[in-house]
Amino acid sequence: MNKQRAQEISLSAEMANVSYNGTPVYIQHVAEDNDTVRIYPLDNPEQEQAVNVNDLREDYRH
């Protein structure tokens, strides 16, 4: 995923189907000064972590 799309998703009111290593995640914050994003698994909000935006995948199936 690219940084601009990650930013769009994080600001959107709609939930996008984004995953990290096959786990559905919520994008909490996109860093302005590098290519990292703060995410957490949808089923475990306490497990927040910073990852590279390029490691995120968006599922476009509806």
Average pLDDT over residues 20-42: 96
Do the Cβ atoms of 1 and 53 come closer than 8 Å? yes
- Please state the domain extents for the chain: 3-58
User: Can you say how many angstroms the Cα of residue 15 is from the centroid of all Cα atoms in its chain?
Assistant: 11
Average pLDDT of the residues of the chain: 94
Average pLDDT over residues 31-45: 95
Strand order in the sheet with 56-58: 49-52, 36-41, 23-30, 18-20, 56-58
Judged against a pLDDT cut of 80, whether residue 60 lies above it is answered with no
pLDDT attached to residue 50: 98
pTM of the model: 0.88
